[in-house]
């Protein structure tokens, strides 16, 4: 089962905007060596909206190769076109991914029945476990607990990445979908509270720059060491705040740049992080003991 600290991987790019394949694979290896429990390439944090289809698939392949089966790889395969999502999911299966992360279709705002049919079509087209990614703030559509419960009955629907920041959701989803339905937080600030409400892990932005601490936090929780888990969450709070001081992944890419992992380059329409917020990111890393 997927659990613990999974990282929503950034996609390193050179200053000219091209993929930096070596930096990416080195970063994946560092994540695994730091204790990250799972890898999630080409989600929103990986700038999937501005990657070409060929680049998207290449990043998935590079991640699986660098991971070397040491930890699970959950490939981002979502799209607001069902056919495109099926194509990406088929590729992830062929490349050797362990599961697919499929976002609720953005912009076209389907009904709950449309959401059900979209995920059902993907799950039936590809024999690969699917994690539903429910993020109303980015997709402008919110999957209800009732729709999720319908989908949970399908063999390939494994769980949800819940980025609603609504801590009643995991309680209701566990009740409706059953105890084996994998619930992963998509919101760093509430990661421990989400665990207390029925979750089993977090797909984290902060884990890009604090993988060991994020892994330690989840491991402490699993051992029943609640105070230790909360102490780490409190230590990481300024980092969580800084990672979202501007649209992600701008701040986290800048933070990874400060730590020597990659250039800070993001593709337009994401602008470079402002000088004021660069200072905020640096200060947060120093405060958390991640940067001297």
Number of neighbouring beta carbons within 10 Å of residue 80: 17
Whole-angstrom distance, CA of residue 292 vs CA of residue 281: 13
| Beta strand spans in the chain (E) | 4-8, 38-40, 74-76, 99-103, 130-134, 157-162, 182-185, 201-204
Q: Is residue 120 annotated as part of the catalytic site, yes or no?
A: no
| Beta strand spans in 42-156 (E) | 74-76, 99-103, 130-134
- CA dihedral 37→91→187→177, nearest 10 degrees, is -90
Q: What are the residues facing 130 on neighbouring strands?
A: 100, 157
Long-range contacts of 253-260 (CB under 8 A, 24+ apart): 253/10, 253/12, 254/278, 254/281, 255/208, 255/209, 255/281, 255/284, 255/285, 256/10, 256/12, 256/27, 256/208, 256/209, 258/282, 258/285, 258/291, 259/209, 259/285, 259/290, 259/291
Catalytic residue among 3, 93, 133, 254: 133
Based on the number of CB atoms within 10 Å of its own CB, is 9 exposed (0-12), middle (13-18) or buried (19 or more)? buried
Catalytic residue among 161, 253, 254, 278: 161
Which among 253, 158, 159 is positioned nearest to 205, based on CA atoms?
253
Whole-angstrom distance, CA of residue 35 vs CA of residue 211: 7
CA–CA–CA angle 220, 226, 228 (5° rounding): 60
Give SS3 for 185. strand
Task: Report, as residue numbers or ranges, the catalytic residues.
Answer: 133, 161
């Amino acid at each position: 089962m997927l659990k613990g600290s999974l990282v929503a991987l950034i996609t390193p790019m050179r200053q000219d905007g091209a993929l930096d394949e070596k930096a990416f694979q080195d970063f994946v290896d560092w994540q695994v060596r730091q204790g990250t429990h799972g890898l999630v390439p080409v989600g929103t944090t990986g700038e999937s909206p501005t990657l070409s289809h060929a680049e998207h698939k290449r990043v998935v392949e590079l991640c699986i190769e660098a991971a070397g089966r040491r930890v699970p790889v959950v490939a981002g395969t979502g799209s607001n076109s069902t056919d495109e999502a099926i194509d990406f999911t088929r590729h992830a299966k062929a490349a050797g991914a362990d599961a697919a992360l499929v976002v609720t279709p953005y912009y076209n705002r389907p009904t709950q029945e449309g959401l059900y049919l979209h995920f059902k079509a993907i799950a039936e087209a590809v024999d690969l476990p699917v994690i539903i990614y429910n993020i109303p703030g980015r997709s402008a559509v919110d999957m209800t607990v009732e729709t999720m419960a319908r989908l949970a009955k399908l063999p390939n629907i494994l769980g949800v990445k819940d980025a609603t920041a609504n801590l009643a959701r995991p309680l209701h989803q566990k009740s409706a979908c059953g105890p084996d339905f994998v619930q992963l937080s998509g919101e760093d600030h509430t990661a421990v509270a989400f665990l207390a409400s029925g979750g089993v892990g977090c797909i984290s932005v902060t884990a890009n720059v604090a993988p060991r601490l994020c892994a330690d936090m989840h491991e402490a929780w699993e051992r029943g060491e609640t105070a230790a888990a909360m102490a780490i969450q409190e230590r990481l709070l300024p980092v969580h705040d800084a990672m979202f001081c501007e649209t992600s992944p701008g701040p986290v890419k800048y933070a990874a740049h400060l730590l020597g992992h990659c250039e800070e380059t993001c593709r337009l329409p994401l602008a470079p992080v402002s000088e004021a917020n660069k200072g905020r990111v640096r200060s947060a890393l120093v405060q958390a003991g991640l940067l001297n």
